[in-house]
Amino acid sequence: MVETKKETIECENAPKAVGPYSLGIRTGKLVFLSGQLGLNPKTQEFVDGGIEEQTTQALENLSNILKTQGLDLDHVVKTTVFLKDMSEFSKMNSVYGRFFKDNPPARSTVEVSGLPKNGLVEIEVIAVIP
């Protein structure tokens, strides 16, 4: 049997978990980050504005967590985007495209009936360590 070490990821520059889960897990050459909302890490409240501002903040939170592992968004190979309202897809997609310009990761986007704290968007990622 092969043993795989599992390390919990913590980050001062990202919102605290809103439940019994880790911000991320590092195992082998993979990093799995839990979904991030558009929460300001200092206040734990949503940033002002709508879907565009929350998408920006969610991606900045993910970027900050990746930095703790010596990684950035270029190391992301898969994302999952959860939208409260699919009619906001084009606005989210426009912001998302600014963060993933070259060689964007594989992505799934789904509409959900609700998100924690009544957020508009939540994004999770899987990254590969070179």
Q: Which two tokens stand for residue 12?
A: 């001062």
Residue whose structure tokens are 């959860």: 82
pLDDT in tens, 72-107: 999 999 999 999 999 999 999 999 999 999 999 999
Residue 100 included in any domain: yes
Average pLDDT over residues 123-129: 98
Residue 78 included in any domain: yes
- Please report which confidence band the pLDDT of residue 4 belongs to, taking 50, 70 and 90 as the band edges: confident
Q: How many domains does the chain have?
A: 1
C-beta separation of 82 from 110 below 8 A: yes
Q: Whose CA is closest to 35, among 53, 59, 5?
A: 59
Residue 121 included in any domain: yes
Q: Which two tokens stand for residue 60?
A: 């900045």
C-beta separation of 37 from 121 below 8 A: yes
Determine the structural domain holding residue 115 and report its residue range: 7-128
32's CB contacts (< 8 A; 6+ apart) are 24, 25, 124, 125, 126
pLDDT at 18: 77
pLDDT in tens, 25-77: 999 999 999 999 999 999 999 999 999 999 999 999 999 999 999 999 999 99
Average pLDDT over residues 97-124: 97
pLDDT at 112: 98
C-beta separation of 49 from 35 below 8 A: no
Instruction: Judge whether residue 2 has pLDDT over 70.
Output: no
Length of the chain (residues): 130
Residue 109 included in any domain: yes
What is the CATH classification number for the domain harbouring 87? 3.30.1330.40
Residue 76 included in any domain: yes
Top pLDDT among 3 and 109 is at: 109
